[in-house]
């Protein structure tokens, strides 16, 4: 018998205690603890940023003079540090010239997920990842970092290979903060090749 989903697990409670907007903050913290890219990043963009927990983590971990931009279909309603600017926009039709800071960015983050239905969610997730990869030439600086969520499924290895084709190093990583029953995992791309 499947275990019931535990909505208020220790990461949920920790997020409330630490002032983060969502438990997903600890996913980015654990990714950054492994890849150590945020402390060097002067410009960061978070695609699919609402409610804003990854923006909070980036603001805490980047240099004080960093510029952080969040993009989402939904507005971020929680007050953010001065280093953070948010835009209501569709990532799939994003024009980087309309951003408060057009980049290029040292890191592109994406915790986006499709509205799940139980069927084909992994394929929709893979398509979102491909939308992010298509934006990289306009957004990511050479040698920059990518972190994006993908739901494990038939296309995961293909998307990982596509990521490897434009980064010196790319790998899959599932933070401990992900729920055990979740199919979500993350692709981390290090040292974007850019136009080189």
Residue 37 in this model has a pLDDT that exceeds 60: yes
Catalytic site includes residue 149: yes
Residue 2 in this model has a pLDDT that exceeds 70: no
Interatomic CA distance for residues 31 and 102, integer angstroms: 25
Decide: helix, strand or coil at residue 148: strand
| Residue 18: band (very low, low, confident or very high) from pLDDT cuts 50, 70, 90 | low
Residue 64 in this model has a pLDDT that exceeds 50: yes
The residue annotated as part of the active site, out of 14, 16, 74, 149, is: 149
Residue 13 in this model has a pLDDT that exceeds 60: no
Residue 23 or 192, more confident: 192
Q: Which domains does the chain have, with CATH numbers?
A: 10-192 (3.40.50.150)
Contact by Cβ (8 Å): 14, 6: no
With a CB cutoff of 8 Å and minimum separation 6, the contacts of 152 are 122, 183, 184, 185
Interatomic CA distance for residues 132 and 147, integer angstroms: 10
């Amino acid at each position: 018998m499947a275990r019931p989903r535990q909505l208020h697990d220790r990461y949920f409670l920790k997020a409330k205690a630490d002032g983060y907007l969502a438990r997903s903050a600890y996913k980015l913290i654990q990714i950054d603890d492994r890849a150590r890219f945020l402390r060097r990043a002067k410009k960061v963009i978070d695609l699919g940023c609402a409610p804003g927990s990854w923006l909070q983590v980036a603001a805490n971990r980047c240099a004080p003079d960093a510029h952080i931009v969040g993009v989402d279909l939904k507005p971020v309603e929680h007050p953010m540090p001065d280093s953070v600017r948010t835009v209501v926009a569709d990532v799939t039709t994003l024009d980087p010239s309309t951003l408060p800071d057009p980049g290029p960015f040292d890191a592109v983050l994406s915790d986006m997920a499709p509205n799940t239905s139980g069927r084909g969610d992994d394929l929709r997730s893979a398509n979102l990842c491909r939308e992010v990869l298509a934006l990289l030439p306009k957004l990511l600086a050479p040698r920059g970092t990518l972190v994006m969520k993908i739901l494990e499924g038939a296309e995961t290895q293909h998307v990982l290979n596509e990521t490897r084709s434009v980064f010196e190093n790319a790998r899959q990583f599932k933070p401990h903060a992900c729920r055990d029953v979740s199919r979500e995992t993350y692709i981390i791309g290090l040292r974007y090749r850019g136009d080189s």
